Structures are given as C-alpha cells and as structure tokens.
Structure 1
C-alpha cells in the first residue's frame, strides 16, 4: 500500500529527507573520502566479504558514501560483485555482475550500471549493501522515496529465520535520527556501517 494512505507518515518522511540531505551535503569532500575508506575497512574486517559470496553494492551518487573502495575491496576478496539495475517500469530491481570485462551504460536516472551476461536474483544474494538517507537505533531505513529497495527485498519481511541476503546500510554518523516514522512495507536492515561504528540487529540471523 503506498504511503499516500498515511499522509502524516509521508509528511514526516519528506521533512526528514530534506534535513538529512542538507546534513550530508554539508560534509567536506576530505571527510567523505576518509569516511568511505573507514567504512570499507569495517566491512572487510568482519565476515561480510568472503571469497565466493554474492555481494550486491550500489554505485554511489552525489553526496552519498563513496562505494568504490568497498567494490574494489570485495573484488579483491574474491567476492562475486553485482550492481543493481533500476527498471523503467515497476520497482523490482535485478542485479548484474561487475568485473573487469564489464562495459557501462546509464539508466533513465543517469545512474551507471554494468553490462554483463551474468545476473543474480535478489533472493540469491548473500549480502546486499544498500543506500539510505536516514536510520535509527532499531535499524529502520529511510530511503529516497522511490521504493525500489523496499520492493526488491520485500520477500525478507516474510521470513522468520532465514535472512538471506544480509541487508547492510551504509551511512555517515550524521544520518542517524532518534526514531524514524515507518510503515509496514519499509525495509528494516540487519546492520548499518558508518565511519565510526557498526550497528547490528539485536537478534542475529
């Protein structure tokens, strides 16, 4: 059900998005670079980047955390790296392999994606690093509002035990808020990695 059925929730989200975009944009370029390296190191020091794992990463845009250090580290670790492709119709994304043979195209939003014969279903991923505008201590996620990630990984909400793929949000510390307004279809994360810490769900999968 679209969030328009809950106008108070949508209004709160819209106000938060404006505030959080401003916070993120105010960070200096040197700070962003150091933060992206710190996040890559935290992700690689745990068990997320294992050889042979199917790992999804997104191509960062504008003031988002740069994901290129993480992408390169995942490739170096022997992971199979996939990047999302946003469809022209609907909100269900698919994931395309990225390696040294990949060519590049841009989608209708101008976001680059690799051209490769190998794809991966969302259900077959082991780890998915996802973008966000905001998060809270309960690991609720505030996205851009397009609903692509909520739709693509909605099957996760129906699972009680098996939690594949592990959903990991990437963000700056300044993107944390005291509490996010959430709806039943909103994506909840297993983990959030910032430049200074890792927050994990209380119940491990």
Structure 2
C-alpha cells in the first residue's frame, strides 16, 4: 500500500488503478454470488419498499452487477430508473427501466433505456451508486467523471432531509481505511457489499 496525500490527484489515480485491479481479480462465480447477496441485503434493509423510486446503474467492466438488485426491486413493486449521461454538462437524468424500455448505446458505450417516463434526481428515494473504492467514512472514489458528484450536489446542504438516500454498491475488496478526497466528492449514506451493510462510524 502507498502513502496517501489527500491533496494529491496522483494518489487518486493510483488508488483507482489499485482498486480496479483488485476488482478485476474476482472470478465470475464470486461476482455472481456477491451481486445476489447484495440484493438480499438491500431487501433486508427495507430499501426495496413498494412504490419507491430507485435508481441503479448499468454495470460495465468489472463493476458489481445490479441485475439481481433491479429485478428484486421490480418484484417488490419499486419503480427502477437508470442514468442517462448528457451530451453536455455533468448532470445525469434518470429514465424508467421496465419491460417497455427500448435500448440504445449511450455515452462510453453504456446501454441506456429509451422510455417515456423520466424522474428528476430530487424525486428519487434511493440511488444505488457505482464506485471504484470507498473508505471507512464512506467517502466514494468514482471513475473521475464527476457525474454523480454534480448531480447530487444538492444533498450537501441538507442537514436532516436525506433524499435520495445514496447507497454505494461494491465488493469487499474495494473497501480501504482512508481515501484522498476533494470537497466536491460524494459521501455515501450506506454501503452494501457481499458481507453486509456498512455505515459511517459514529
């Protein structure tokens, strides 16, 4: 492990490389079992209540799969939405994912649904967030594009009303004690891995 200087962007790049390698080293059976268990934990935590508006993401590369979670959410009567990366700017929009969705390739060749129903970021109840790494304080290290940080910037000024709830999804190997952070980086409310639900220390 290397020394972390919170003010150094080079350390973020090095952490991304290290944590992507850890994530990529998991075999398919481990990935599949972890994704299924994460869906179970989300249900046990009461996050998949009927009528809730939930946002997930389309997994790419070695990211933790959201398919078991999205299917479980639909089974429980939730409305599931997926992010659309804009052509300009960094604010994500969210489009309904159901049997009526038609798929197209979006930015970064990530599949995106075409659907008449959209949902604003402020109207979501829970957002399941992808990440490269996360630390004990639930500071999130993302891909570096800043889309989630920008989209949910409004959460920073809220002291009591936490909507949407920001829930990171990851494998246990992506957890570390401390990550470098900038003032605009997104902090998570909860983290779910294959071993359970993790919260910030009190």
TM-score, normalising length from structure 2? 0.95
Who is 2:71 aligned against?
A: 72
Q: Would the aligned equivalents of 1:83 and 1:95 in 2 still touch at CA under 8 Å?
A: yes
Say whether 1:48 aligns with 2:47.
yes
How far does residue 8 in structure 1 lie from its aligned partner after superposition?
A: 4.1
Who is 1:173 aligned against?
A: 172
Kindly report which structure 2 residues correspond to 1:135-154, keeping only aligned pairs within 5 A, or say none.
135-154=134-153
Map Cα deviations across residues 20-72 of structure 1 (whole Å, 9 max, x no partner): 00000011111111010110110111110000000000010111111100010
How far does residue 9 in structure 1 lie from its aligned partner after superposition?
A: 2.6
Structure 1 distance, partners of 2:176, 2:107, is 31
How far does residue 197 in structure 1 lie from its aligned partner after superposition?
A: 1.6
- Aligned residue pairs: how many? 198
Who is 1:160 aligned against?
A: 159
Q: Would the aligned equivalents of 2:91 and 2:150 in 1 still touch at CA under 8 Å?
A: yes
Q: Would the aligned equivalents of 1:9 and 1:182 in 2 still touch at CA under 8 Å?
A: no
Structure 1 distance, partners of 2:106, 2:12, is 26
Structure 2 distance, partners of 1:127, 1:39, is 15
Say whether 1:14 aligns with 2:10.
no
Secondary structure in 2 aligned to 1:156? helix
Which runs of structure 1 show a deviation greater than 3 angstroms over 4 or more consecutive aligned residues?
Answer: none
Q: Would the aligned equivalents of 1:125 and 1:165 in 2 still touch at CA under 8 Å?
A: yes
Who is 2:129 aligned against?
A: 130
Unaligned stretches of 5+ residues in structure 1:
1-5
Secondary structure in 2 aligned to 1:109? helix
